[in-house]
A and B are shown apart, each in its own frame.
Chain A
Amino acid sequence: MTDNAFLLGPVFAPFAGALVTLLFWGRNRAQRWVMVLAALAALGFALAASATALIEGPQVYRLGGWQPPYGIALVLDGLTAAFLSAAAIVGFAITLYTFGCKDKQMKRSAYAPVAMMQLAALHGTFLTGDIFTFFVFMELMVISSVILVAGADDPLGIEAATKYLFISAMGTLFLLVGVGTAYATFGSLNMADIAQQSAGAGALAGVSVIILTCSFLLKSAAFPFHFWQPDFHTIAPTPIHALLSSVVVKVGVYGLIRLSTLLFPVQADAIQPALIVLGVIGIFFGSLTALRTFNVKRVLAYSTMGQIGFILISIGWGNELALTAAILYSFNHALIKSAMLMMAGWLSSQNKLKSSAIAKSRGLGQKMPLAGALFFTGGLALAGIPPLNGFISKLAVVQGGVAAAESDAAQWLILGLVVGGGILTLLYMVRLWQTIFQQAPDENTAPLKPKGEGDSILAPALLIVLCVGLGLFAQPVVALAQQVAAGLYDTAPYITAVLGG
């Protein structure tokens, strides 16, 4: 097997960007250019490597030339390709947004290096083929997100960051316990090596599965572990919020899919019903709370909780169609949610109080037809209205549910709840759009800034155009997702690619 050096790009391009931005300390404009270029390079490498992986099968890069399972390998198979390309697209979009962002935090020289490290760590979690390196990248991501949020313009940032550091460090601690348990059972940390041995493993492997599942659920802010997410995400500066709420929560989802298909397919059967139940509770808790929340960013943060519920249910069903749905949903939701968050951040940057409270944004967008159209399209995409890409992913979830219900009649009930929960999304998105863009401003509404003083709308507009495009021309994406899902339970190509024939 030959090494594919393109796999280094998504991790090391932002890493190099972080180093170069350190050289440009105090020169804000140059730092922003370096950020955009580094993220663009990472996007290029990620897309090129993903295309190779989808055509030729899993790609491997052995760091330092050490042969797995002794050395660390970066592995890019179909599942990684889906998550990595979503992360790289969103990562590029947020650097574009940062370029036109007027927050005071972006003018500090420390912002750019830390944001680049966060991106490098995010790409690393998806690419690594080794559970301990996964833990290292995850912790690096936690630390850099905490630094970015602690330095937010909002003085409450530091409180939210402390809260997140306590809770999230607990999550990574449990990941470490899970890694240790897996090492005690299998004597290996390499994912492919564990996958080879896991079928006949003893009781300790089950313990490892449970601990890892809890840790991943905490990372993806799923129902019983969600309480940190709205606070932390709402306070974060707009570009970081867009990254956190769209792709960073998907690290947990990625971990769960890896866990239930590659690492422990036998033991994971026991956790799948739990995922379905937690997903249903998450959909209703998240969507209903979003309905009665009075801050645009907070509504979207709760909405993430609901949308993660749909993905968890799909993973819980676990058949091929449902896994296709989980992959499609993760990819599309990352694009839509980051676009909507940037729209919300853009709106709050337009008003003089820089607040995203709904009462202060009432009628703010009455004279902004373009922004209104973009927000409306994004909201419909989030709710899953045809012909947008959100509809494709919701349709895929329903198909997966029908396939699951054919073998187990109780799943019809879950499917009904899922469809009902989807309507709630439409309710809160339409409510937001109406209040901000349709109603007349009242005495509480914050005054508008003069034209040209707010953030740039380029990045969310590009993402929403991409959402519409992926909805109209969904066939190739769906075909790719089906190909990936079909290959998930067949772990032989992955193991052969990593460990050699």
Chain B
Amino acid sequence: MGVVFALVTGVLFGLGVFQLLRRDLIKSAMGFYILFTAINLFLLAVGAFDGEVAPYVEPTTVNTLAEAVPGGTPSDPLVQALILTAIVISFGSYALLLGMLNVIGKRNKSLNADDLNALKG
């Protein structure tokens, strides 16, 4: 599982960087989102596969971790919480970015990064 994740993360990272460097800003924005997905997968791979069952704790008096979670080692719940937060943040940034690109496109009739050079100086 780890190898598959490493491969997928690597490919997504490459795709994201390639798209991000395109001159069309919509494509760059998509590259930004792909990059974020790649990093989310990376975060997932960091901790989720150390265990094999859901991190659900039996509400009984317990002494050790193995007693608390019947059926095997629990997987790490923290990385899932991290990814959830990261997805919310990336979604917010992406929506804001697309909104601004919408305004730029309407104003300049172009979304080519080469045409938007009014800030030079």
A associates with B: yes
Instruction: Show the binding face of A for B, using Cβ within 8 Å.
Output: 132, 136, 139, 142-143, 146-147, 150, 155-156, 158-163, 165-166, 169-170, 173, 176-177, 179-180, 183-184, 187, 189, 231, 235, 294-295, 298
User: B119 contacts A231, CB within 8 Å?
Assistant: yes
Q: Complex Cα distance A166/B97, Å?
A: 8
Q: Confirm or deny: B71 has a beta carbon within 8 angstroms of a beta carbon on chain A.
A: no
Contacts of B100 in A (CB 8 A): 146, 150, 158, 161-162, 165
The 9 closest A-B pairs by CB, nearest first: A184-B46, A231-B119, A180-B43, A139-B89, A162-B100, A180-B46, A176-B39, A169-B93, A165-B97
B97 touches A162 (CB 8 A): yes
- A163's partner among B35, B79, B119, B121 (CB-CB below 8 A) is B119
Contacting A183 at CB < 8 Å: which of B32, B47, B96?
A: B47
On chain B, the residues within 8 Å of A170 by CB distance are 20, 32
Closest partner residue, chain A, to B13 (CB atom): A177
Distance (Å) between the CB of A71 and the closest chain B CB?
12
Contacts A/B (CB < 8 Å), 22 sampled: A136-B85, A136-B89, A142-B93, A143-B93, A150-B100, A155-B107, A156-B118, A156-B119, A159-B118, A161-B100, A162-B25, A162-B97, A162-B100, A166-B32, A173-B35, A173-B36, A177-B39, A179-B82, A180-B43, A180-B46, A187-B47, A189-B78
Query: Does any Cβ of A come within 8 Å of B101's Cβ?
Result: yes
B28, B43, B92, B118 interface centre (most CB from chain A within 10 Å): B43
Q: Which residue of chain A has its CB nearest to the CB of B44?
A: A180
Q: How far apart sit A136 and B84, CA to CA, in the bound complex (Å)?
A: 12
Q: A295, B121: Cβ atoms under 8 Å?
A: yes
Main secondary structure of the interface of B (DSSP, over half): helix
- Tell me if A177 and B119 are in contact (CB < 8 A): no
Where the two chains meet, the residues of B that have a C-beta atom closer than 8 Å to any C-beta of A are 20, 25, 28, 32, 35-36, 39, 42-43, 46-47, 78-79, 82, 85-86, 89, 92-93, 96-97, 100-101, 103-104, 107, 116, 118-119, 121
**Whole-angstrom distance between the alpha carbons of A146 and B14 in the complex?**
27
Contacts of B86 on A, CB cut-off 8 Å? 176
Q: What is the minimal beta-carbon distance from A102 to any residue of chain B, in angstroms?
A: 24
Q: Cβ of B79 and Cβ of A183 under 8 Å apart?
A: yes
Contact of A143 among B42, B47, B78, B92 (CB under 8 A): B92
Residues of A within 8 A of B36 (CB): 173
A162 CA / B108 CA spacing, docked (Å): 14
- Which of B47, B79, B101 is A162 in contact with, Cβ under 8 Å? B101
C-alpha gap A255/B88 in the complex (Å): 24
Q: In the complex, A170→B97 CA distance in Å? A: 13
CB of B42 to closest CB in A, whole Å:
6
A184 proximity list for chain B (CB < 8 A): 46-47
A121: shortest Cβ distance to chain B, in Å? 12
Cα A294 to Cα B121 with chains together (Å): 8
| Residue numbers in B under 8 Å from A142 (CB-CB) | 93
Contact (A176, B43) CB under 8 Å given A139-B89, A143-B93, A156-B119: yes
* Complex CA distance for A162 and B47, rounded to whole angstroms: 34
Q: A156-B119, A165-B97 are in contact. List 14 more A-B contacts (CB 8 A).
A: A136-B85, A139-B93, A162-B101, A163-B119, A166-B20, A169-B32, A173-B36, A173-B39, A180-B43, A180-B46, A183-B46, A184-B46, A189-B78, A294-B121
Give the residues in chain B near A150, CB-CB below 8 Å: 100
Q: Find the A residue at minimum CB distance from B17.
A: A170
Q: Is the CB of B96 within 8 A of A165?
A: yes
**Bound state CA distance, A386 and B52, in angstroms?**
66
Interchain CA distance A182-B92 in the complex, whole Å: 25
Which residues does chain A contribute within 8 Å of B96, judged by CB atoms?
A: 143, 146-147, 165
Question: In the bound complex, how far is the Cα of B25 from the Cα of A184, in angstroms?
Answer: 34
A155, A165, A295: residue with the most chain B Cβ atoms closer than 10 Å: A165
Once bound together, how far apart are the Cα atoms of A350 and B14, in whole Å?
A: 50
B119 near A158 with CB under 8 A, answer no
Report how far A158 CA is from B102 CA in the complex, Å: 11
A155 to B35: give the CA distance in the assembly, Å.
Answer: 30
The chain A residue sitting closest to B95, CB to CB, is A143
* Complex contacts, B104 vs chain A, CB 8 Å: 158-159, 162
Q: What's the least CB distance linking B17 to chain A, in Å?
A: 10
Q: How far is the CA of A189 from the CA of B82 in the complex (A)?
A: 11
In the complex, what's the smallest C-beta–C-beta distance from B40 to chain A, in angstroms?
9
Are B103 and A158 within 8 A (Cβ)? yes
Q: Are A180 and B42 interface neighbours, CB within 8 A?
A: yes
**B42 touches which one: A163, A169, A177, A231 (CB < 8 A)?**
A177
- Chain B residue at minimum C-beta to C-beta distance from A146: B96
Chain B residues, CB < 8 A from A132: 82, 85
The residue of chain B having its C-beta at the shortest distance from the C-beta of A133 within the complex is B85
Residues of A close to B28: CB separation below 8 A: 166
